[in-house]
């Protein structure tokens, strides 16, 4: 069980995400990644190396945003490889889907037990999978239920999940919104200064120095 950090605010929250991942490194992980909304597009950096290497990529790519999610992975489904590292994106359906920019970005801790069945249903609807993870199934499932309201789509998606999960989700069409859900795996909500920024994390320790107002979901 590895780590999730997410943030939505009005300043650049990427340093909070990377610092949060560093605080979760002690748990062990085989890969890590971060996704942000930048200039209206979801953009990400992923690495099978340390968080310090991810930070170098983030700096080189100039990833800066007031909305983002980040993850350290301990692989359960699919090898520890960059294409299996989170965040996973969904791009909608069709043969050219993966050429399009990502529409949904998602990080996940846990295991989805009915991932084979859900993957088959989503493939039949035209979703193209780029990883071997159970997590990518959730990203496409949320996309398939998305109609402009990310909260409603995640709420409908989790009804179909069997297993344990903590997730944090973004949509490129909702630049001020981050949605989280949990069942079996831990996830906390952090409320920042004046309620003007909010955080999600798998462990309150990831938010040390950012906020001490923690809601245990």
Where does this chain bind ligand GLU (CB under 6 A)?
1-2, 73-78, 108-111, 133-135
Q: Which is nearer to ligand GLU, 87 or 102 (CB)?
A: 87
Query: Shortest approach of ligand GLU to residue 46 CB, angstroms?
Result: 12
Query: Shortest approach of ligand GLU to residue 212 CB, angstroms?
Result: 26
Query: Shortest approach of ligand GLU to residue 5 CB, angstroms?
Result: 13
Strands 3-8 and 198-201, how do they pair? antiparallel
Catalogue the E-assigned strands of the chain.
3-8, 31-38, 41-47, 67-73, 88-90, 104-112, 163-171, 179-183, 188-191, 198-201, 214-216
C-alpha–C-alpha distance, residues 129 and 20, integer Å: 29
> Are 101 and 172 within 8 A, CB to CB?
yes
Q: Which is nearer to ligand GLU, 38 or 54 (CB)?
A: 54
Q: Which is nearer to ligand GLU, 66 or 135 (CB)?
A: 135
Q: Which is nearer to ligand GLU, 14 or 139 (CB)?
A: 139
Q: Which is nearer to ligand GLU, 38 or 170 (CB)?
A: 170
Strands 31-38 and 41-47, how do they pair? antiparallel
Query: Shortest approach of ligand GLU to residue 111 CB, angstroms?
Result: 5
What is the SS3 assignment for 52?
Answer: helix
C-alpha–C-alpha distance, residues 153 and 121, integer Å: 17
Query: Shortest approach of ligand GLU to residue 6 CB, angstroms?
Result: 15
């Amino acid at each position: 069980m590895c780590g999730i950090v997410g943030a939505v605010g009005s300043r650049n929250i990427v340093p909070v995400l990377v610092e949060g991942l560093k605080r979760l490194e002690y748990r062990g992980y085989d890969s890590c990644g971060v996704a942000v909304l930048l200039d209206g597009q979801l953009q990400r950096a992923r690495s099978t190396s340390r968080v310090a290497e991810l930070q170098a990529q983030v700096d080189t790519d100039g990833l800066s945003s007031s909305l983002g999610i980040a993850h350290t992975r301990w692989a359960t489904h699919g090898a520890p490889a960059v294409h299996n590292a989170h965040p996973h994106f969904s791009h909608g359906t069709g043969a050219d889907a993966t050429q399009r920019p990502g529409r949904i970005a998602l990080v996940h801790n846990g295991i989805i037990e009915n991932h084979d069945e859900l993957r088959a249903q989503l493939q039949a609807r035209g979703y193209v999978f780029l990883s071997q993870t159970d997590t990518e199934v959730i990203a496409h499932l949320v996309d398939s239920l998305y109609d402009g309201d990310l909260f409603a789509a995640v709420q409908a998606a989790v009804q179909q999940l069997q297993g344990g999960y903590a997730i944090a989700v973004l949509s490129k069409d909702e630049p001020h919104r981050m949605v989280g859900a949990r069942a079996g795996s831990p996830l906390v909500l952090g409320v920042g200064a004046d309620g003007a920024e909010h955080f999600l994390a798998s462990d309150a320790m990831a938010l040390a120095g950012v906020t001490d107002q923690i809601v245990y979901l």
